[in-house]
Structure 1
Amino acid sequence: MNKTNILRYLYADRLKKIDLYSRNGEEIQRQQLSYLLAKAKRTEIGRQYEFNSIKNYSAFTSRIPVIDYEGLKPYVKRMHQGEQNLIWPGRIKWYAKSSGTTNDKSKFIPVSKEALKECHYRGGQDCVAIYLRNNPDSRFLSGKGLILGGSHKVSSISRYADCGDLSAVLIQNINPLINFIRTPSKKIALMSEWESKLESIANATIHAHVTNLSGVPSWFLVLIKLILQKTGKQYLSEVWPDLEVFFHGGISFDPYREQYKELIPTEKMHYVETYNASEGFFAVQNDFTDPAMLLMIDLGIFYEFIPLEDINKPSPRIYPLWETEPDRHYALVITTNSGLWRYNTGDTVKVTSINPLKIIIAGRTKFFINAFGEELMVDNAEKGIARASAETGATVINYTAAPIYMSGKTKGRHQWLIEFEKMPKSLDSFAESLDRNLQMLNSDYEAKRYKDIALGRLEVIPARKDIFNEWLRERGKLGGQHKIPRLNNNRNFIEEMLSLNQNKI
């Protein structure tokens, strides 16, 4: 008997509700907003903005300002000291610790009981439900899921509040029954020292019956190679012959896709992108043939979108889901069941379709290059790297890029620091290919590159082995959900990495 069919039966009603996204998106989102306002009307923020008298979206937008973490932080500090009913009813005990802003080493994102149950965990179940619909031959429940989480262990902020990275918070609060279908043990999963953790995970899972993986692609590659080294196998499918799906997120999968195909050379392997942030579970890929992700619009989150060109304006245009347009880039603003009210996530997305609304993660509002009007986004960079790698036979592990500004008679250009696992035969050919593909992917970049008038051809500097991990380690951010800043308008990060790159091991 295929036990996975039990899940198909249990998820049937949920899938019917997800299918309603196509024709009832506006109604569903209006209901989410009404629910959130009603739930929080007696909180401090609810009384301040008179939530009880907000009857429509227009009143909501005119009364409540858009904020970022700096606007949220005063409430977070008060909640850490035990204050209740500030932005969401009751006391919020859990906080997802993530990379900080300019003024803070870390952000502490509130995670309410409702967000855990109705958003993050339900979002995870929706991933499985949608995957099983797309793969009728799945035997998902015949083995266990290997989840590679972050490296921030659960710790106490105060007597009233605990924190960890999102994966640690989710593992700490998960239904104990789930531990029967996941690996490694909770003790190993919550280890904080990254290199010891990888070693323990590898030892604990080599002989497990693993059918599915969940985690960040770059870090999972490190674990996979360690497992292959320990087992003496060439392919991961030799270690786990029933492996069938990798739920991945956190960074683009494009630069790593070919490496995974080489390490898991089986037609039954599937890859599903997810968008699960500290602030909430946002989206999941619902079609193996379409890289865009379905925005999950009934998990206690109300979505708004700021056009990319308006991000830095004092009074930007802001649209609800039902007023977005396809093929446009937006900054993502959310109102959630953790008490984030019109919170600018800092993420940018490209809307690819409306009914239902589907998105591609484009990058961060702070992580792009626009030194010469080229507006190069992370999604352009990821696709360009993937195409250049395919054309030149290279394999890229990690990279970052920043502009070199004009000086004297020298034209401005982009400088890329790239760690290759497999070097291209010609570094110059790789640079040429990357430059050409970026022009094909981005018309603004193409215009600035025209006859080298405004922007010279990009420069590629090969990075020595593990340089990016060293940079993360120096900042106490090695492993898990920490990411290399791919693109930056200034040279702060790349100069630090170039300095490390000159050091010999």
Structure 2
Amino acid sequence: MKVKSLLARPFAGIVHKQIKKAAENSVEDQDRILKELITKAAKTDFGKDHDFDAIKNYEDFKKQVPIRDYEAFKPYIEKIKEGKHNVTWKGRPAYFAKTSGTTSGIKYIPITNDSISNHINGARNALLCYMVQSGNYNFSDGKLIFLSGSPELERTKDVPTGRLSGIVNHHVPKYLRTNQMPSYETNCIEDWETKLDKIVEETLSKDMTLISGIPPWMQMYFDRLQEKTGKKVGEIFPNFSVMVQGGVNFEPYKNRLIESIGREVDMVELYPASEGFFAFQDNYKEPGLLLNTNSGIFFEFVPAKEIENANPTRLSLKEVEIGENYAIIVSSNAGLWAYNIGDTVKFISKDPYKIIVSGRIKHYLSAFGEHVIVEEVEHAILQATKQANVGILEFTVAPMVKAEAGKSYHEWFIEFDGPPPADLEAFALLIDNVLREKNVYYEDLIAGNILERLKITPMQKNGFIEYMKSVGKLGGQNKVPRLSNDRKIADGLLPFALSS
């Protein structure tokens, strides 16, 4: 055992105990955090506008502070961008995390000196918990790759601004710098394919022990490695033992990633976002992500079906129920207040509080009143692929609205892992039947002869990659939404579909 893995053992044990203890006090910690946030921000512009001095408890907070999305919160962000101090949090942000929004264009999410530790320690804590649970400390002696955005930052007035993964890259602990791949220069390359080739060149001869990133971009890295060597990733890197992933549902990518590796490796899931590091898999052998309840973030939960209501039900942690689909709302020491991040989650445990990410509020399909959510389409295609013994690489769903002859339907764009099934209609029927079982509104529309059954448009090999390249969103944290309510993405994908 080398020095890093030797030192990691006692440190991991201490942190793991702290995390378990915090999980036992989640409700109390949430109450304390809300009070601390309100006290510290009382003299800010936001605090004065919402009479923070009069807030004594959570009920007061709900009355004083309405739920906002980015568009509603934007006037405060604009004040910060103009150079004003003490707008939503004391002083000025340490950074802006720049991310693209579906309706707001580029979003600027503040990260403060108080909130940066939440982003840094979240991933660290997940790995330390993994060490304790698995007994695998040795991976910390090898090379660790983080497939991320460029760490180069621009400035918005005096605030350094860039992608979250690039910002976090500046805070990697010194003791990991010698292990970190790729090099800083390579990480700064903006063109994803050029960057990927350089990453392969730099890592091919290294002792890679941990690989981390968004699943589709890890798959691209694995594909390039195999093209270069003709070998499985697990053979190229014999000591590769841990894969860390997040950003999208892992299940649709899991089988092909394992196939590319050629053997089993341990997997750890994270739930990071520009607005905060919300949860992580504290036990790699068990499903669910431990909610980060003691890290400067106060969580609220709104039943997803009510999120568009003028006065939706708002619940604190102690009021949630297992299995309910909730929109997640955050207030934090980054200066966000009752902020709707756009994600939906479900609790699978309340002792401790563990969640799964069920989808995006904006990423649902309800062009005909069916309100199909991401979790449902992912479940349907996974069940169908198991029954048909078919592999898929990527997919998305959009409505096909027929104004004249014929009935409307859902169009599924699917890139298969190999040739499409010989009987594509039979495969579509498998998906359709599962989706009908999962969503009663969709069932009613099909049974009532209002919608036709779904139809599949198979994509060319690398069709989704080529589409992302065509719209300038290849690489980084970008991904194709699973669901849309219009044809914008669908029409963009058509040039990359297989000819009929």
Task: Note if contact 2:23-2:293 (Cα within 8 Å) is conserved in structure 1.
Answer: no
The answer for unaligned runs of 5 or more in structure 2 is none
The match for 1:110 is 110
Superposed, 1:131-142 pairs within 5 Å as: 131-142=130-141
Q: CA contact under 8 A between 2:8 and 2:137: conserved in structure 1?
A: no
SS at the partner of 1:113? coil
Task: Measure how far apart 1:420 and its partner are.
Answer: 1.8
Q: CA deviation at 1:250?
A: 0.9
Decide which of 220, 235, 243 is 2:240's aligned counterpart: 243
Matching residue of 1:328 = 324
Deviations 1:398-419, CA, capped at 9 Å, x for gaps: 2111122354563332110112
How far off is 1:129 after superposition?
Answer: 1.7
Offset at residue 441 of structure 1 (A): 3.6
Superposed CA deviations along residues 255-304 of structure 1, whole A, max 9, x for unmatched, are 1111122122324x111211000111011123334332111111111000
- Cα 1:140–1:153 change in 2 (3 A) is closer
Q: CA deviation at 1:187?
A: 1.9
Query: Does the aligned pair in 1 maintain the 2:151–2:170 contact within 8 Å?
Result: no
C-alpha separation in 1, matches of 2:443 and 2:24: 38
CA distance in 2, matches of 1:395, 1:69: 37
Residue 124 of structure 2 is matched in structure 1 by 125
Distance 2:233 2:349 in 1: 35
Shift of 1:379: 1.6
Instruction: Give the alignment's TM-score, normalised by structure 2.
Output: 0.94
Is contact 1:326–1:353 with CA below 8 Å preserved after alignment? yes
Q: Secondary structure at the match of 1:422?
A: coil
Alignment of 1:291-330 (within 5 A): 291-330=287-326
Aligned to 1:263: 260
Deviation at 1:390, TM superposition (A): 2.6
Alpha-carbon distance in 2 for matches of 1:367, 1:407: 24
Contact 2:34 2:298 survives alignment (8 Å): yes
> Could you tell me whether the CA contact under 8 Å between 1:153 and 1:191 is conserved in 2?
no
Q: Please give the per-residue CA displacement for 1:411-455, whole angstroms capped at 9, x wherever unaligned.
A: 3321101122323343223212222232344444344444x6343
| Match in the other structure for 2:336 | 340
- Counterpart Cα distance in 1 of 2:349 and 2:406: 42
Contact 1:392 1:425 in 2 (8 A): no
**Distance (whole Å) between structure 1 residues aligned to residue 112 and residue 152 of structure 2:** 16
* Contact 1:21–1:356, Cα closer than 8 Å, also in 2: no
1:475-494 per-residue CA deviation (whole Å, 9 max, x = no partner) reads: 32111200102101222221
- Rounded Cα–Cα distance in structure 2 between residues aligned with 1:354 and 1:29: 14
Residues 83-94 of structure 1: matches in 2 within 5 Å?
83-94=84-95
Distance 1:62 1:198 in 2: 50
Aligned ranges 1:79-478 → 2 under 5 Å: 79-104=80-105, 106-117=106-117, 119-150=118-149, 154-233=152-231, 235-267=232-264, 269-405=265-401, 407=403, 410-423=406-419, 424-450=421-447, 453-478=449-474
Q: Which moved more, 1:128-137 or 1:359-368?
A: 128-137
State the one-letter code of the partner of 2:46: I
Letter in 1 for 2:110: P
Aligned letter for 1:109? I
With the length of structure 1 as denominator, give the TM-score of the two structures.
Answer: 0.93
Closer/same/farther in 2, CA of residues 386 and 498 from structure 1, 3 Å limit: same
Counterpart AA for 1:116: I
Any idea what SS the aligned residue of 2:394 has? Answer: strand
Q: What displacement does 1:309 show? A: 1.2
Write out per-residue CA displacement over residues 221-253 of structure 1, whole angstroms, 9 at most, x where no aligned residue. 0011101222231x1111111111111011111
Partner of 2:493: 497
Contact 1:374 1:448 in 2 (8 A): yes
CA-CA distance at 1:217 after TM superposition: 0.3
Q: Distance in 1 between matches of 2:382 and 2:144?
A: 28
Which residue does the alignment assign to 2:66? 65
- 1:211 Cα shift? 0.9
**Is the 2:428–2:455 Cα contact (8 Å) retained in structure 1?**
yes
- Alignment: residue pair count: 498
For residue 360 of structure 1, report the CA deviation from its aligned partner. Answer: 1.3
Q: Equivalent residues in 2 for 1:471-486 (5 A)?
A: 471-486=467-482
For structure 1, which runs of at least 5 residues remain unmatched after alignment?
A: none
Percent of pairs with identical residues: 35
- Shift of the 167–420 alpha-carbon distance from structure 1 to 2, 3 Å rule, reads same
Summarize deviations over 1:308-349 as a string: whole Å, max 9, x none. Answer: 110111111111111111111011100011101110001111
Q: Give 1:30's aligned residue.
A: 31
Distance 2:439 2:282 in 1: 26
Deviation at 1:91, TM superposition (A): 1.5
In the alignment, the residues of structure 1 paired with residue 441 and residue 239 of structure 2 have an alpha-carbon distance, to the nearest angstrom, of: 45
Q: Distance in 2 between the 1:22 and 1:86 partners?
A: 32
Q: Is the 8 A contact 2:29 2:294 kept in 1?
A: yes
- Indicate how the Cα distance of structure 1 residues 330 and 297 shifts in structure 2: closer, same or farther if over 3 A, else same: same
Q: 1:16 to 1:221 in 2, by over 3 A?
A: same
Task: Give the residue type in structure 1 aligned to 2:283.
Answer: D
- Larger mean Cα displacement after TM superposition, 387-396 or 298-307: 387-396
- Distance verdict in 2 for CA 1:14–1:51, change over 3 Å: farther
Structure 1 residue 157, shift from structure 2 partner: 3.5
1:106-135 CA-to-partner distances (Å, cap 9, x unmatched) read 111111122212x01110111112211221
Distance in 2 of aligned mates of 1:190 and 1:170: 14
C-alpha distance in 1 between matches for 2:324 and 2:459: 34
CA RMSD of aligned residues (A): 2.2
Deviations 1:356-406 (A, max 9, x none): 221111111111112344322112222222222233232222211112235
Q: CA deviation at 1:54?
A: 2.0
Q: 1:160-184 deviations in whole A, cap 9, x for unaligned?
A: 1222111111113433333122111
